[in-house]
A and B are shown apart, each in its own frame.
Chain A
Amino acid sequence: MSQAEINKVTNILVVGVGGQGVMTAAEVLAQAALALGLDVKKTEIAGMAQRGGTVTSHVRFGPRVLAPAIPAGEADILMAFEAAEAIRWESHVRPGGLIAVNTLKLAPPVVESGIFPYPDDPVGMLRAAGREPRALDADAIAHELGDVRLSNTIMLGAIADSLPFAADRLKEIIVARFSAKKKELGVLNAQAFEAGCKAARAAQTAA
């Protein structure tokens, strides 16, 4: 194997807005890769994330990971927890990479005050850019399950078939993580994960 092959890594970019659970989702992905014995690096720029700004977390795993941040144009998967954030980070995805987007729209004050418009059709913009986004309303699904905080687990379910390991491995990590806090949370997150998988299949059929 050449040095370049040894260094081949999977790049997952998780983006959203402060408070959406971006960091937790990235942590779960990192832990799943770690459990498989892979090398992992995870980095985020969140200096002022709690202040309503964009939050990004880069997760890279493989036999050996060097730089922590995913180079522009090399993300294999983009998980966007908010529609406009998918637009913002689209160019970070490699050609043919997966974009899973939560269709939730969160308008910041600069939009509400009329200074900037919110795009009418973010998913359409992604398609126009030559992407085949996997769009789902994770917050609506989370609401049905009874807790809006489940949207990040739903999004993890939505990308689970595109990881270099079985979806069940990711599910196990999620269930273990939340069961440790409270047993019911584990059950709820397992349901959310399954709902995400299902929504992803539906989104693909629709596309």
Chain B
Amino acid sequence: MTTQQALAVDAQLISGNQAIARGVWEAGVRVAAAYPGTPSTEILENLKQYSDIHAHWATNEKVALEVAIGASLAGSRAFCAMKHVGLNVASDALMSQTLAGVAGGLVIAVADDVGLSSSQNEQDSRFWGRFAHVPLLEPADSQEAYEMTLEAFDLSERFDVPVILRLTTRICHVKGLVRVGERRVAAPERHFERDASRWVMVPGNAKRRLGVQLERDRELAAWSETSTLQEITPGTDRRVGFVASGPVVMQVREAFPEAPLFKLGQTWPVPAGAIRRFGESCDHLVVVEETEPLMETDLRAAGVAVQGKDILPRTGEITARVLKQAVARLLDGAPAEGETLGGAALEVFPRPPTMCVGCPHIPAYYCLSRLTRKVHIMGDIGCYTLGAGQPWKALDSATCMGASMGMALGMDLGRTEVDKDKAVVAVIGDSTFLHMGLQGLIDITYNKGNVTVMLLHNSTTAMTGGQDHAATGRALEGGEAPRVDFVQLVQALGVRPERVKVVDPYEMPTLFKTIREEIATPEPSVIITNQPCVLIDKFDRRPPYQVIDDQCTGCSNCLNTGCPAIHVTRRESRTLASGKTVDKSWVTIDTLACTGCGLCPETCGPDAIVLKEFAAETVQ
């Protein structure tokens, strides 16, 4: 049996994220760091299985990259992973380190969320290739994700440059067959070589490196023209030739199996010469790229006649169907056959994500929803962003990680007469606060802002699936870790001890009273809630509640909690003597789902919601 056959038998069905983790391990990486972010999170989670890699969660993406840079300087291969917006945070380190270069291979995996399944924007990370003068590799499936991870480390060392591995959801979260290899024997032992002219980026040194960087750009451009990462399929139907990279390549192949295709595995620098020659044998040359027209712009600038965003959408994923329609219009101005296939979708209610049954954020938002006329609520990034949704509608902004702090201060300072009686609240989670909230809170205290911060401490990075962080007391690999104490921390940042309140969110009347008191106090205050996320192992279920049917008056106050365990059994519209119509809803509680948090009984006037055991006794 040949080696190839042996590997073929071993093909595994794994996601792009799993494949990248495997590649990182095989590449002999010593240090890996990340901050969780959909769709990149599982890369690091998969790395924890390899005991010969130091893999850990970093406070934020900038720290993750800096850790990787330090490890690279020490001579080790190093890796970090993040979602697209994470590289915005890390870019300060990237933009200078690219001048200095690397010692051990340094690879940054960046996952874009094309189509915005779980992000606040749809930015195209490919811009970083040009901006930071670094090669940018784009795998098209799990197998390539694995192979290009290995390739990226080789390139990094060959060209003395950090390398970006650009992913999208359709790489990270797609499972495909992957054939893997073995961990490479580590390169001859390197070590840190002191060289201030190289690693100390003061103006004099940085200026000298600019020339090195430009020369590197030229070398990369030359390499790009003949790189094996570029793959040409000659095709037989030469009416339209395609230029594409990343997962959209699969859509092109599916839509036009007979067409010529120039597939780029590496999109910066763009091999304009090779693409020009490829295009000469095609009637039309169409660049297919999701979101931004980067390659198209580069190719046009190089004088290559291409089409792209003039016929293709600027946002979201590009499917085979969209491609077929666009090309049909290009060729003969007619819609493609089968364009109407599938028909219009039937109408049905939306099912947006919502908070979990018994989520400790629910009481916080229930309280805030009672106060929306009195407060402006600056939100942040996490599960608690869902507080903007039904029924709470208690969030007035969400921009980026940590923004609630600075925006709340700005809202406080910038409000006009119209808003002078409104209080300003900032809502932020524990992981997000550590990621980028601290600095904003310092600004609030230092600049004497009147902001009430609600720090919803649920002991996990919940939205991305429950990762640990510096305040959970546990590390990536599951071992114990030092735990940040938020009370001491916020006091150290300048919040007076009297204005730091720790509240059990399930004690809703106390929480409500505390919020009212703190928003009335004209100085910075922090309310810390202290119950864990219901999806993590620290959470303890309590006995469930039940509705005593004949005591329920249909007032529907409990529905205002937004708890998904409460279901309506009957609705009725009643016209009062005054002529006013009221909608009544009688409810039941899904006792299997109920976690016994005790919030809904607090909203029930007629005391119709009782502990299930108690209800059983009553019936007996």
Residues of A within 8 A of B (CB): 2-4, 7, 17, 30-31, 34, 39-54, 65-69, 71-74, 84-85, 87-88, 90-95, 107-119, 125, 129
Contacts and interface: CB of A to CB of B under 8 A. Distances in A.
Q: Which of A30, A49, A71, A85 is the most central at the interface, judged by chain B CB atoms within 10 Å of its CB?
A: A71
A48 to B, nearest CB: 4
Nearest to B345: A91
- Main secondary structure, interface of B, reads loop
B173 A39 contact: no
12 contacts: A41-B174, A44-B173, A45-B115, A48-B463, A73-B338, A91-B344, A94-B342, A109-B390, A109-B563, A110-B350, A110-B390, A113-B560
B74 interface: no
Contacts of A88: 345-346, 348, 351
B582 to A, nearest CB: 12
Q: Which 7 A-B pairs have the closest CB atoms?
A: A73-B342, A47-B118, A116-B349, A51-B353, A48-B353, A53-B353, A3-B257
A147 B355 CA distance: 25
A53 B354 contact: yes
Interface stretch (B248-256, B281-289, B518-526): B248-256
A106 B14 CA distance: 31
B319 A69 contact: yes
Contact of B13 (A34, A46, A54): A34
A128 to B, nearest CB: 9
A71 B583 contact: no
Q: Which of A42, A68, A85, A118 is the most central at the interface, judged by chain B CB atoms within 10 Å of its CB?
A: A68
A84 B583 contact: no
A53 B257 CA distance: 36
B475 interface: no
A74 B386 CA distance: 33
Interface stretch (B198-206, B262-270, B430-438, B564-572): B564-572
B414 to A, nearest CB: 32
Contacts of A87: 346-348
Nearest to B386: A51
A111 B349 contact: yes
A32 to B, nearest CB: 11
Contacts of B321: 71-73
B348 to A, nearest CB: 4
A53 B389 CA distance: 13
Contacts of B350: 110, 116
Nearest to A68: B174
A108 B254 contact: no
Contacts of A66: 250-251, 253-254
A125 to B, nearest CB: 6
Contact of B173 (A17, A46, A95): A46
Contacts of B141: 41, 68
Contact of B177 (A34, A92, A110, A125): A34
Contacts of A95: 341
A115 B541 CA distance: 30
Nearest to A90: B346
B301 to A, nearest CB: 30
B305 to A, nearest CB: 27
B383 interface: yes
A67 B174 CA distance: 10
A90 to B, nearest CB: 5
Contacts of B390: 109-110, 113, 115
B39 interface: yes
B304 interface: no
Contacts of B174: 41-43, 68
Given A40-B13, A52-B564, A67-B254, A94 B341 contact: yes
B107 to A, nearest CB: 24
A84 B350 CA distance: 10
Interface in B561-620: 562-564, 566-568, 571, 583, 585, 587
